[in-house]
């Protein structure tokens, strides 16, 4: 327990205003920022009539990252990137961010500079203006909250709730094992989402932050209590999931379904858009999807999409072709309730 102190006295000592002035100096500005860092509020020229998207995420040392393992720069990058991933999940375009920090007092300035470097890196890469924030120091761990504003595309925001029975389910990349390091460098699929939505008309979408099974579950619930049948062989498994499985003893597929922080997108398409995409499938099952190279980005765009299954009326999650043939029901405990054939499937959720 630490004793609370008056907010105003806490950081004046370490030069809050000098720190903010330094952050302000090193923050680029763009024409859409009418008022940036330095006043009581920021002001943006809004690209009317697009709807405004707003999202926020809080990252806490000890829970979401360890400062021994992640540099402040990585944390800054990740903190903006996880918000970018939420904008991607609505097929939106990011515009501006504000960041609130609670800095560990002893290393406040060094950490603030590192965080800012990482945020600027992500901001530049994805065309975001950093327009304000709040800076505090205390005797506790590092806490960083980023709020990101974006704008919806011309077709409006893509919701979780638009999936329909018969829609095909896709993901933008291989899943599982992000804990081995990828979780610190999420690749928000902003450009991919915009391009896919423009070409195909996405019916529902979510970013995979809690694991495919759980996040797809949100689409199913929000879409009115639907179910999904997944083709076990079609779920793209990241090499990291294979590596993780050697230490955990769990199947790589299990990691692909449940590991969080992949930050790929899971989305649904109606036919004929889905059929058009699937027709171009390569021998390995991946679907080529080309985006122009973005020279600002240090990440490869998603080069392939994967059609992993379909939406059905009966609630629940069924995996077909599990370990070479069986169909199994997936629930929170894993591959439970083995189903012996497709005929005796119990349509009620377990
Ligand atoms: P107020 O007390 O009126 O909220 P502050 O003194 O907290 O203002 O902040 C002064 C200015 O600096 C504001 O424009 C605020 O948005 C900006 N700011 C504060 N901390 C940060 C930060 N970590 N990154 C970017 N801008 C910041
Ligand atoms: Mg004020």
Q: Tell me the pLDDT tens digit for each residue of 322-332.
A: 887 889 998 86
Q: How far is the CA of 269 from the centre of ligand 2 (A)?
A: 46
Low-confidence ranges of the chain (pLDDT < 70): 1-14, 293, 295, 297-300, 332-350
Count of C-beta atoms within a 10 Å radius of residue 327: 18
Which mutation among 20, 38, 101, 147 tests ligand 1's pocket best, with the greatest number of atoms within 8 A of CB?
A: 20
Distance from C-alpha of 183 to C-alpha of 161, rounded to nearest angstrom: 27
Please spell the DSSP secondary structure of 6-36, one letter per residue. Answer: -HHHHTGGGTHHHHHHHHHHT----TTEEE-
Rounded (10°) angle between helices 108-126 and 72-88: 40
Cβ–ligand 1 distance for 99 under 6 Å, the answer yes
Identify each DSSP E strand in the chain by its residue range: 33-35, 43-44, 52-60, 93-104, 129-138, 143-151, 168-171, 204-207, 227-231, 265-269, 286-288, 304-312, 316-322, 326-331, 334-339
Q: What is the pLDDT of residue 335?
A: 61
Cβ–ligand 1 distance for 258 under 6 Å, the answer no
Cβ–ligand 1 distance for 134 under 6 Å, the answer yes
Q: Using DSSP, state whether 129 is helix, strand or coil.
A: strand
Residues 6+ apart with CB under 8 A from 300: none
Q: Which ligand is nearest to the CA of 20?
A: 1
Per-residue pLDDT reduced to its tens digit, 18-29: 889 999 999 998
Strands 129-138 and 204-207: unpaired
Q: What is the pLDDT of residue 303?
A: 75
Distance from C-alpha of 224 to C-alpha of 222, rounded to nearest angstrom: 5
- Atom 8 in ligand 1: residue holding the nearest Cα: 40
Backbone angles phi, psi at 214, to 5 degrees: -75, -45
* HSE value, Cβ hemisphere, 13 Å, CA-based, for 233: 10
Q: What is the pLDDT of residue 326?
A: 84
Q: What is the pLDDT of residue 349?
A: 33
Reported pTM: 0.89
Q: How far is the CA of 51 from the centre of ligand 2 (A)?
A: 27
Q: What is the pLDDT of residue 333?
A: 58
Q: What is the pLDDT of residue 251?
A: 93
Paired residues of 338 in beta bridges: 328
Paired residues of 335 in beta bridges: 330
Identify each DSSP E strand in 62-157 by its residue range: 93-104, 129-138, 143-151
């Amino acid at each position: 327990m630490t004793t609370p102190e008056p907010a105003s006295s806490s950081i004046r000592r370490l030069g809050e205003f000098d720190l903010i002035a330094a952050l302000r100096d090193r923050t680029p500005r763009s024409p859409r920022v009418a008022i940036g860092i330095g006043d009581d509020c920021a002001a943006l020229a809004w690209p009317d009539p697009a709807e405004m998207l707003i999202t926020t995420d809080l990252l806490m040392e000890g829970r979401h990252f360890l400062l021994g393992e992640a540099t402040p720069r990585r944390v800054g990058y990740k903190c903006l990137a996880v918000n970018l991933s939420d904008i991607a999940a609505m097929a939106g375009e990011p515009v501006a961010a504000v960041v609130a920090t609670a800095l560990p007092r002893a290393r406040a300035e060094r950490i603030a500079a590192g965080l800012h470097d990482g945020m600027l890196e992500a901001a530049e890469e994805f065309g975001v203006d950093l327009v304000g924030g709040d800076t505090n120091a205390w005797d506790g761990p590092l806490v960083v909250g980023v709020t990101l504003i974006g704008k919806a595309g011309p077709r409006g925001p893509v919701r979780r709730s638009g999936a329909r029975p018969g829609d095909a389910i896709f993901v933008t990349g291989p899943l599982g094992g992000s804990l081995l390091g990828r979780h610190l460098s999420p690749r928000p699929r902003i450009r991919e989402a915009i391009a896919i939505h423009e070409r195909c008309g996405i019916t529902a979408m979510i970013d995979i932050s809690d694991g495919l099974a759980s996040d797809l579950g949100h689409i199913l619930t929000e879409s009115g209590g639907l179910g999904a049948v997944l083709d076990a062989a079609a779920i793209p498994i990241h090499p990291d999931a294979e590596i993780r499985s050697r230490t955990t003893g769990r199947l790589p597929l299990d990691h692909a379904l449940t590991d969080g922080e992949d930050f790929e997108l899971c989305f649904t398409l109606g036919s004929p858009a889905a059929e058009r995409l699937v027709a171009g499938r390569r021998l390995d099952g991946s679907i080529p999807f080309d985006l122009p190279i973005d020279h600002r980005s240090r990440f490869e765009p998603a080069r392939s999409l994967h059609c992993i299954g379909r939406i059905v009326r009966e609630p629940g999650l069924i995996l077909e072709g599990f370990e070479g043939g069986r169909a199994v029901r997936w629930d929170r405990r894993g591959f439970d309730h083995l189903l012996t054939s497709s005929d005796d499937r119990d349509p009620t959720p377990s």
